[in-house]
Structures are given as structure tokens and as C-alpha cells.
């Protein structure tokens, strides 16, 4: 298995060395060298993650927690090693506060369903924000339908930042939960999550943080931030698809009912009554994506070796450079200009629809996202149906930004 040998955190990220660990970055797309700028949708995978997946199926595959034989025991050990790695990576107090899910979406649905069943009452309120991904809106709407609770929404400013004053005003005695994104996938805004959590906790209100766009880019310390729940997806942080994490404090996870029933989540079953297994099994019914979980450890190890601070510094430099370059293009408007931003550049052009921009860029081998980014309320807030979005990660270079910018000039020359 290849291990990147990178310099200590003080030195800038050696992007060429990083790129060499990602086989897909060497392919051509539409006959041009691939320029992959759709990292907010999903990240590419380093060789160590790819190899961990094939090694698992070649030499380690067995079902977890079920057998006394060698492979079952090995698979169980590997599965639990990822849990221990995630505990360290996110600094959870206990390994059993880490629940494996299919991803951010499932983590939010799990909590929303538990709240609907055992916490929410008619007239209760859940506070969200205009920045949310549909994954952090729709499960709460479903929970409201089941319980009679209502959504309250924090507005955003013209620069795409949360209106903090409005947030404070929305918190009241009826608020049962704040569910808010750490980093906006559509605009890149980084929310001041510690302050948001503190304000909610002062009133005894728990907080769920949608960390889908934070975990790949920011050092997440769940105890330091103090959130009650945190969710993220492996596939955005160099790991496989179909795997994610729900962190919840022991107190909350003990309080919520199981999300799904099935094998592994029980203590005893009779036709009259079933009792639940302890955490984390209570929330992990059925056979999960074991290979995916096992390989996810290697993704977190990779991020640790390169260093999230160094990755964030690199992305910051690339996105600042890209923002300066695209602002030179007449008729291009950047949407989302928050002071604290992750590596996301969302924009519209007066001469072309975002889908046309995406198509022209694709013909140049450049992958960006064009659409509403599963954030229709946010698009509505900015008066656009969709945007074009370039999103950067540790392996993107200034040269790739130059390719993007010259392709955008081409869009202008074709449509203007």
C-alpha cells in the first residue's frame, strides 16, 4: 500500500506529490486532461483507499459481529478500527458515540425520525437556515408532519452569511433543536458554529451540525464545538460512497429510539417485546457497507498525514486566486462572498445559463457543477434558479484555475 511521505505541517502542501496518489487525476475527459472541480459533490480517492477496498474483498471479507471464524473476526476488528479512527479524528469522548450510516443524509434522517417519535410535540420549533442543503430541510419537514412541530428559518445576508441577530431572535422556549450546516455546499460560507452552539445551549437547546462540507476541509473537534450531533459523508473526504458518520453525545443517543429494526441492533427478541442493543449497535441494524467502512479509515489517515490545516491553507490560496481571476471576466457575478469561505466558487454569467457553462467546460475536460446544488431556497434568496460552481480540494492547482478561466473566456466569446 502506498503511503505519501509528505513534509511537516508548517511547509506548504506539495500538490504534485498529492496528485500522484490519485490515479483518476491522470485520465483524459473528452480528450483533454481532466480538471476535476466538483469536489463539493464528491472527492476523488487516493490509491490507499482504493487498495484498502480491494484488499478487503481479496483477503478480509466476512460478516461482522456474527461469526466465530477467522474472517468474521478480522472484518469486525477492521470495522471497529475505523470507528476508533473516527473517534480520534472528530475527538468524540467515546467510540460508541460514532454511528456508521450511509452518509450525511441518513444521519440527519435518523435524528429527525427519532425527534419526531420521542421529542417533538405540536407547536415545537426547529431552527434551520436558508443555507441548508435539502438533506437538512426535508427530513425536518417530514418530522414536522409527523409531530406537529414547525420550522423556523434563519435568513442570510447579501454576502451569504447567516443573519446572526435573526438567529438569536428565533431561539425561544419552543425551540427543540437547531439543525444547521457548518459549511454551505452552494456558497462555501463557513458558519460560526461554536457561537451558534453556545447561544443554543444557553437556552438548553441541542444542536445538530451538518458537517458534510466541513469534515473534508476543517479540523472538527466535536467536544470543543460542543454540538450534540454531527453528521458527515465519507465520499466527500476521500473515502468511499455509501458510508457516513453520525456523532451524537451518549446522552442523546441513549435517549433517541432506534431508527431501523433488524439484526445486530437488539439485545433480546421475543414476539411480545424486543430490547435494544447498547450503543453503537442500537443504530446499526443489518449488514452495513463493511468494505466501505474499512476503507474510510484510510481516507481519514490520509487527511491526517497531509494535515487538514495545510489542506485548508492550500484551498484558501487556490480559491482566492480563482476568485480574483474570474472577477476579471465581464458579466460574471460571484454568488457568496462571505468573509469566512471554504474552497467553493459559485457564479453566474449574464451571457450564458449555468448548464451551458457546464457543458462548454465539460468539452474542455473541466468538471464543475451547474444547478441548484440541492439548495433551492438559497437559490431563490439570491434570485437565481441555479449557479455554476467550481469547488476545490487538496489536489487542485493554480494551473487548473487558469484552464478554468480561459474556458470561461471561451464561454463568453461564444455566447456574449
CA 273/CA 150 separation, integer angstroms: 33
CB of 182 vs ligand PMP, minimal distance in Å: 8
CB of 237 vs ligand PMP, minimal distance in Å: 10
For ligand PMP, the closer of residues 209 and 294 by Cβ is: 209
CA 107/CA 135 separation, integer angstroms: 10
| Cα 257 to Cα 66, 87, 98, 275, 288, distances in angstroms | 23, 22, 16, 11, 19
φ/ψ of 385, rounded to 5, equals -75, -25
Q: Which of 400, 388, 407 lies closest to 349 in space, CA to CA?
A: 388
Q: Which of 371, 363, 325 lies closest to 346 in space, CA to CA?
A: 371
| Cα 51 to Cα 42, 56, 175, 207, 224, distances in angstroms | 19, 8, 46, 37, 34
For ligand PMP, the closer of residues 62 and 377 by Cβ is: 377
Piece in contact with ligand PMP (CB under 6 A), picked from 56-64, 128-136, 298-306, 313-321: 128-136
Piece in contact with ligand PMP (CB under 6 A), picked from 207-215, 294-302, 316-324, 350-358: 207-215
Catalytic residues: 374
Mask of contacts with ligand PMP, 31-70, x by CB under 6 A? ----------------------------------------
Piece in contact with ligand PMP (CB under 6 A), picked from 22-30, 147-155, 208-216, 364-372: 208-216
Q: How many helices (H) and strands (E) does the chain have?
A: 14, 17
Piece in contact with ligand PMP (CB under 6 A), picked from 54-62, 131-139, 333-341, 345-353: 131-139
Peptide bond preceding 23: is omega within 30 degrees of 0, i.e. cis? no
Piece in contact with ligand PMP (CB under 6 A), picked from 130-138, 171-179, 314-322, 395-403: 130-138
Residue 218, C-alpha cell as written in the block: 476543517
Question: Which residue reads 480559491 in cell numbers?
Answer: 319
Examine residue 212 and tell whether it contacts ligand PMP (CB under 6 A): yes
Residue choice 21, 124, 161, 210 for contact with ligand PMP (CB under 6 A): 210
Contact positions with ligand PMP (CB under 6 A) in 84-123: 103-105
**For ligand PMP, how many residues bind (rule: CB under 6 A)?**
13
CB of 77 vs ligand PMP, minimal distance in Å: 27
For ligand PMP, the closer of residues 187 and 403 by Cβ is: 187
Examine residue 213 and tell whether it contacts ligand PMP (CB under 6 A): yes
For ligand PMP, the closer of residues 360 and 371 by Cβ is: 371
Examine residue 346 and tell whether it contacts ligand PMP (CB under 6 A): no
What is the number of other CB atoms lying within 10 angstroms of the CB of residue 345?
Answer: 27
Question: Which residue reads 437547546 in cell numbers?
Answer: 205
CB of 132 vs ligand PMP, minimal distance in Å: 7
Question: SS3 of 261, please?
Answer: coil
For ligand PMP, the closer of residues 389 and 412 by Cβ is: 389
Half-sphere exposure in the Cβ direction for 295 (13 Å, CA):
28
Residue 180, C-alpha cell as written in the block: 444547521
For ligand PMP, the closer of residues 181 and 249 by Cβ is: 181
- Whether the Cβ atoms of residue 176 and residue 125 lie closer than 8 Å to each other: yes
Q: Which residue is nearest to ligand PMP (CB)?
A: 185
* Adjacent-strand bridge partners of 247: 98, 230
- Whether the Cβ atoms of residue 345 and residue 357 lie closer than 8 Å to each other: no
* Adjacent-strand bridge partners of 177: 126
For ligand PMP, the closer of residues 162 and 408 by Cβ is: 162
Question: Which residue reads 503511503 in cell numbers?
Answer: 3
Contact positions with ligand PMP (CB under 6 A) in 360-399: 374
- For binding to ligand PMP (CB under 6 A), which residues are involved? 103-105, 133, 135-136, 181, 185, 210, 212-213, 233, 374
Amino acid at each position: 500500500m502506498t503511503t505519501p511521505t509528505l513534509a511537516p505541517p508548517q511547509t506548504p502542501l506539495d500538490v504534485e506529490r498529492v496528485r500522484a496518489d490519485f490515479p483518476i487525476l491522470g485520465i483524459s475527459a473528452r480528450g483533454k486532461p481532466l480538471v476535476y472541480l466538483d469536489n463539493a459533490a464528491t472527492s476523488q480517492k487516493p490509491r490507499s483507499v482504493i487498495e484498502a477496498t480491494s484488499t478487503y474483498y481479496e483477503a478480509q471479507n466476512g460478516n461482522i459481529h456474527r461469526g466465530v471464524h477467522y474472517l468474521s473476526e478480522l472484518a469486525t476488528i477492521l470495522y471497529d478500527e475505523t470507528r476508533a479512527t473516527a473517534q480520534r479524528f472528530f475527538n468524540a469522548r467515546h467510540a460508541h458515540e460514532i454511528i456508521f450510516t450511509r452518509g450525511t443524509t441518513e444521519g440527519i434522517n435518523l435524528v429527525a425520525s427519532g425527534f419526531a417519535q420521542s421529542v417533538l410535540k405540536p407547536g415545537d420549533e426547529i431552527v434551520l437556515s436558508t443555507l441548508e442543503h435539502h438533506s437538512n430541510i426535508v427530513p425536518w419537514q417530514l418530522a414536522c408532519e409527523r409531530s406537529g412541530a414547525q420550522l423556523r428559518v434563519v435568513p442570510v445576508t447579501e454576502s451569504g452569511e447567516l443573519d446572526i441577530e435573526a438567529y438569536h431572535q428565533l431561539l425561544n422556549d419552543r425551540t427543540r433543536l437547531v439543525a444547521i450546516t457548518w459549511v454551505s455546499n452552494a456558497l462555501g460560507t463557513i458558519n460560526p458554529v461554536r457561537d451558534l452552539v453556545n447561544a443554543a445551549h444557553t437556552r438548553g437547546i441541542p444542536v445538530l451540525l451538518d458537517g458534510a462540507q466541513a469534515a473534508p476541509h476543517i479540523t472538527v473537534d466535536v467536544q470543543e464545538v460542543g454540538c450534540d450531533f454531527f453528521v458527515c459523508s465519507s465520499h466527500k473526504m476521500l473515502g468511499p460512497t455509501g458510508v457516513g458518520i453520525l456523532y451524537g453525545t451518549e446522552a442523546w443517543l441513549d435517549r433517541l429510539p432506534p431508527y431501523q429494526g433488524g439484526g445486530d441492533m437488539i439485545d433480546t427478541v421475543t414476539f411480545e417485546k424486543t430490547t435494544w442493543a447498547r450503543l453503537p449497535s442500537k443504530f446499526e441494524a443489518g449488514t452495513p457497507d463493511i468494505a466501505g467502512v474499512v476503507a474510510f479509515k484510510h481516507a481519514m489517515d490520509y487527511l491526517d498525514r497531509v494535515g487538514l490545516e495545510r489542506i485548508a491553507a492550500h484551498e484558501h490560496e487556490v480559491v482566492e486566486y480563482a476568485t480574483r481571476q474570474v472577477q476579471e471576466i465581464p458579466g460574471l457575478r460571484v454568488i457568496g462572498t462571505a468573509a469566512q469561505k471554504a474552497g467553493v466558487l459559485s457564479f453566474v454569467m449574464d451571457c450564458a445559463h449555468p448548464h451551458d457553462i457546464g457543458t462548454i467546460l465539460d468539452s474542455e475536460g473541466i468538471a464543475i457543477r451547474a444547478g441548484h446544488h440541492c439548495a433551492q431556497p438559497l437559490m431563490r434568496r439570491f434570485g437565481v434558479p441555479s449557479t455554476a460552481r467550481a469547488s476545490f480540494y487538496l489536489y487542485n492547482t493554480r494551473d487548473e484555475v487558469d484552464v478554468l478561466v480561459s474556458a470561461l473566456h471561451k464561454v463568453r466569446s461564444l455566447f456574449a
